[in-house]
């Protein structure tokens, strides 16, 4: 099954990406456009998913962008890789659990390239390095079209997590590739593209 692959080198605002994804969902439903894999980074943005709570905001000065993805409040910022997708599960497996499992496996496989051992958690969705979260997952499904995606902390500034209770967690329980390795890593977009395209074959 063919997908359009987009890799954005400049920062893409959350609002633009959100509208783009919603439009692509409608186009995929009507058979007008291909499925999508989109790798990008956002400027500093605090987003509130459908399960968010105002009590999770610790700094009232921040601006929250509401979104229809699953999950709670989280942060996107430069140095964090976002992997968005639009997948037509009508033509794949109508299995949300399998979709999430394959996303988790994709992230774990990506981190293994850089010698970072990570794992998923049945109680807390996302990917963890020991007891710290390194990647978040938030998806939505409309008429079996799955969209939104996941984020992986590569070299983003983790201090912004102090302004919120991220994903309902202790904000000290967040890490990044840079935190774990303390060295520059290469071929990030190339590796993400290859791994996710391979894993999407199982969805």
What digits encode the pLDDT tens for the residues 26-76?
Answer: 999 999 999 999 999 999 999 988 888 888 889 989 999 999 887 888 899
Number of domains in the chain: 1
Q: Is the pLDDT of residue 182 over 90?
A: no
Q: In angstroms, rounded to a whole number, what is the distance separating the alpha carbons of residues 58 and 61? A: 9
Instruction: Say if CB 3 and CB 200 are below 8 A apart.
Output: yes
Closest CA to 75 of 135, 22, 117: 135
Residues tagged active-site = 167
For 7-27, the pLDDT digits (tens) are 999 999 999 999 999 999 999
Q: For 75-123, what is each residue's pLDDT tens digit?
A: 999 999 999 999 999 999 999 999 999 999 999 999 999 999 999 998 8
CATH code of the domain covering residue 36: 3.30.930.10
* Residues 6 or more apart in contact with residue 86 via CB below 8 angstroms: 21, 24, 25, 28, 35, 36, 145, 146, 147
> Residue 45 is part of which domain span?
3-200
Determine the pLDDT at residue 123: 83
As a 3-state breakdown, the chain gives helix, strand, coil percent values, each rounded to 5, of: 35, 30, 40
Work out the percent of the chain whose per-residue pLDDT is above 70: 97
- pTM strictly above 0.75: yes
Classify 198 in phi/psi space as left (phi over 0), alpha (psi -120 to 50) or beta.
Answer: alpha
User: Among 53-57, 122-126, 169-173, which stretch is predicted with the lowest mean pLDDT?
Assistant: 169-173
3-state secondary structure of 6: strand
For the cut 80, the answer to whether the pLDDT of residue 170 exceeds it is: no
- Closest Cα to residue 86, out of 151, 5, 148? 148
* Cβ atoms 22, 39 nearer than 8 A: no
Say which DSSP state 7 is in.
E
- Would you place residue 145 in the very low, low, confident or very high pLDDT band (cuts 50, 70, 90)? very high
Q: pLDDT at position 70, please?
A: 79
pLDDT of residue 148: 96
* Rounded mean pLDDT, 168-186: 87
Give the model's confidence band at 1: pLDDT under 50 very low, under 70 low, under 90 confident, else very high. low
Maximum Cα–Cα distance across the chain: 46
């Amino acid at each position: 099954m063919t997908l359009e692959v987009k890799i954005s080198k400049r920062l893409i605002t959350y609002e633009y990406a959100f509208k783009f994804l919603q439009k692509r969902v409608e186009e995929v439903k009507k058979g007008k456009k291909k499925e999508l894999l989109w790798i990008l980074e956002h400027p500093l943005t605090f987003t509130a998913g459908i399960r968010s709570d105002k009590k999770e905001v610790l700094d009232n000065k921040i601006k929250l962008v509401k979104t229809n993805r699953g999950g709670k409040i989280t942060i996107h910022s430069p140095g964090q890789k976002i992997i968005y997708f639009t997948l037509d599960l009508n033509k794949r497996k109508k299995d949300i659990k399998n979709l999430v499992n394959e996303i988790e496996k994709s992230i774990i496989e990506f981190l293994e390239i850089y010698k970072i051992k990570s794992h998923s958690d049945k109680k807390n969705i996302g990917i963890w390095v020991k007891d710290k979260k390194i990647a978040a997952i938030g998806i939505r499904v409309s008429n079996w079209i799955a969209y939104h995606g996941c984020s992986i902390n590569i070299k983003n500034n983790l201090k912004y997590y102090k302004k919120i209770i991220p994903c309902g967690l202790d904000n000290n329980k967040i890490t990044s590739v840079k935190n774990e390795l303390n060295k520059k890593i290469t071929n990030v977009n190339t590796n993400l593209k290859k791994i996710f395209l391979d894993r999407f074959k199982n969805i």
